[in-house]
Amino acid sequence: MFLTNGLNAILVQRNRGTDSFYDDEDTREKKIKVCPYNHDQVVRFGIDTTDVGKGYFIVKRNTPVREGDQLIFRGHTYSILEVHDCWLWNKVANIILVVK
């Protein structure tokens, strides 16, 4: 459930090929919609914070994102540290990304 008008960003996916070793040139770029998330102004219902996290973003539940990917938003490049699922009525409603 993504109840806001998302802002455009680029998701740089790393190592999505079939090779079993790490390849730093195996990247794919995909346009996605994100919502910047200010964690300080909300009531924390079971969402844990990360000390090294610089910011948070909310993305749609079907976005193919993993830890280690990069997010390019408004000219800044962020590395995705953690991926948290937000559940609502036994279903993933959206995904919260912890970025640095």
> In this predicted model, what pLDDT tens digit does every residue of 5-64 receive, in sequence order?
889 999 999 887 766 677 777 889 999 999 987 666 554 555 556 667 678 899 999 999
- Tell me the pTM: 0.81
Q: What is the 3-state secondary structure (H, E, C) of the chain?
A: CCCCCCEEEEEEEECCCCCCCCCCCCEEEEEEEEEEECHHHCCCCCCCCCCCCCEEEEEECCCCCCCCCEEEECCEEEEEEEEEEEECCCCEEEEEEEEC
